[in-house]
Amino acid sequence: MSENIVTILPELWTALGQTLLMLGIGLSAALFIGGPVGVWLFLLGPGQSLANRPLFALVSWIVNTVRSFPFIILLVALVPFTRLIAGSSIGPVAAAVPLSFAAIPYFARLVEQCLRDVPRGVIEAAQAMGASELQIISRVLLVEARSGLVLALTVLAISFLSYSAVAGVVGGGGIGDLAIRYGYYRFQTDVMVLTVAILIVLVQIIQFAGNAIARRLDKR
């Protein structure tokens, strides 16, 4: 182990914790806000129980508009909002605000696509048995699509792991901040290689766990 790596080990553990904190907040926002938005978007679609073409077009446009922003631009554009919510524009909690803002529409669209894969006949059978809208959502749609939803969350987690590294570059902390400060500004290539290796390991762990859970939930 090189001297540079030994020197930054305490900071490395802190940076890893900051990255996981940003990722955790962003994924929580996606799950608890983006998930319901995705379900709502699906139900507003053509042929669904709450079909409403103008409202569907409006919500879909908002989702697409937020998703079209490059993350680095969104990060800067939301600085005033971030200060209002987090009290600061730097640090992992502050960086989690734009991460959450980007994750919500991203996951909402993934949820909508997963629900579209649920066979129409299953939904119609539940309606014929007198199931309420809430029962259809909780006991039919989400149950039938659960494997796909886990994979969608896995894709989101991996994508936003890289976003958290970008957030670190502009003061968010985490692995990205460490890589820039030591690997780039101080030309410590070994530190840069180490941070990249850590990100690769995290991606592999997330993907493996997501695939394993999705296989267990897939009853087809």
Three-state DSSP class for residue 188: coil
According to CATH, the superfamily of the domain at 3-217 is MetI-like (1.10.3720.10)
Query: Long-range pairs for 175-181 at CB < 8 Å and ≥24 separation?
Result: 175/15, 175/16, 175/18, 175/19, 175/199, 176/19, 177/15, 177/18, 178/8, 178/11, 178/12, 178/15
Rounded CA separation 214/208 (Å): 10
Tens-digit pLDDT string for the chain (220 aa) = 566 677 777 888 888 888 899 899 999 999 999 999 999 999 998 888 788 899 999 999 999 998 888 888 888 888 888 888 888 778 888 888 889 999 999 999 999 999 998 888 888 888 888 878 888 888 889 988 999 999 999 999 999 888 888 877 666 678 887 887 777 777 778 888 888 888 899 999 999 999 999 999 876 6
| Prediction pTM value | 0.88
Q: CA distances (Å), 104 to each of 39, 67, 128, in order? A: 12, 9, 33
